[in-house]
Amino acid sequence: MDPSRHIVLIGPMGAGKSTIGKRLARDLGRPFIDSDQVIRERTGVEIARIFDVEGEAGFRQREKDAIADLLNEPACVLATGGGAVLDADTRARLRDQGMVVYLDTSVAEQLRRTGKDKRRPLLQTENPQERLEALMAERQPLYEATAHITVSTDRGSIGQMVQRIMAALEEHPA
């Protein structure tokens, strides 16, 4: 594993990017950074507020800028928002500057984990299952094309998932 390369977690809402990322960073002795958290700190408001005021396009631009900046910082474990891969420049940067790990998660599991989420604007809908399925249909090919490594997070403890990721990173030639 190249210590100068970022480890980037991609995947849908409820994949466990933040929970797994924090543990992975701790075990590797690297900083953990969550791009949504950086956007909250930069703007001083919640993500939902950015969607309300600037629309999804405004949020995507902020997300693109934040990720580009974070990739120029010292190597960390970076958790990205579920829609970060929608942007072609971001996809290219992530692959170029990071080892990208796709946390593959079924819609059923995402639903279970996001439950009655009030923070994620895209889930404030009558039918979150339908929304998650539509997002997955659009994004799965992008997650797969961006990732160096894919790890399922449907089953197992956080510790086991972290072990699986570390083993896959060790085996990967890059």
The nearer residue to ligand S3P, 137 or 174, going by C-beta atoms, is 137
Question: Minimum CB separation from ligand S3P for residue 40, in Å?
Answer: 10
CA 125, CA 165: separation in Å to the nearest integer? 33
Write down the least CB distance from residue 149 to ligand S3P, Å: 18
Name the residue whose CB lies closest to ligand S3P: 81
Binding site for ligand S3P (CB under 6 A): 13, 17, 36, 47, 81-83, 120-122
**Given the complex with ligand S3P, which of 27 and 56 has the nearer CB atom?**
56
Strand locations in the chain (E) = 6-10, 32-34, 77-79, 98-104, 149-152
The span from the CA of 66 to the CA of 80, in Å, is 10
Length of the chain: 174
Judged by beta carbon, residue 39 or residue 162, the one nearer ligand S3P is: 39
